[in-house]
Amino acid sequence: MSKAVYFLYAGGVLHIGWAVFHFLFPRIFKWGESLADLDSINRSIYQVLNLCLIFYFVVAAYLSLVFAPELMASELGKKLIAVFTAFWLLRFGLQFKFFKATHPASLLLNLAFLLTMACYGYPLLHAAR
């Protein structure tokens, strides 16, 4: 088994962590209070988008943990690895636009975004050889 497959397994574990983190968002960010001032449509948008992200993270984790060798061996798998890499690169870039990049929490999240991206970027580069 190639080293790249282990990176995909690590990415799967990280995606489980992202799913759990997002599952806890309502409690961590006190959505009951902080979203109360929003109209029902905007409040629902936050919740629906968060649930969709959780679904994406679970699917990405499942594919990474169960089908890592197949992801590396097929053209469709390589495209999915590219999508996972691009997602985390985009998320890293958006951090600078919407959050204070120097805040300690932001720095920690940036590191986690880059780590998750690297778990897919390395296999993507490996597959390109």
Encode pLDDT of 87-118 as tens digits: 999 999 999 999 988 889 999 999 999 999 99
30: alpha, beta or left, given left = phi > 0 and alpha = psi -120 to 50?
A: left
How many independent structural domains does the chain possess? 1
pTM given for the model: 0.94
Tell me the C-alpha distance between 87 and 81, whole Å.
10
pLDDT digits over 9-36, tens only? 999 999 999 999 999 999 999 999 999 9
Q: Indicate if the pLDDT at residue 78 is higher than 80.
A: yes
In whole angstroms, how large is the CA radius of gyration of the chain?
16
Q: Which domain holds residue 121?
A: 3-128
100 DSSP 8-state letter: -
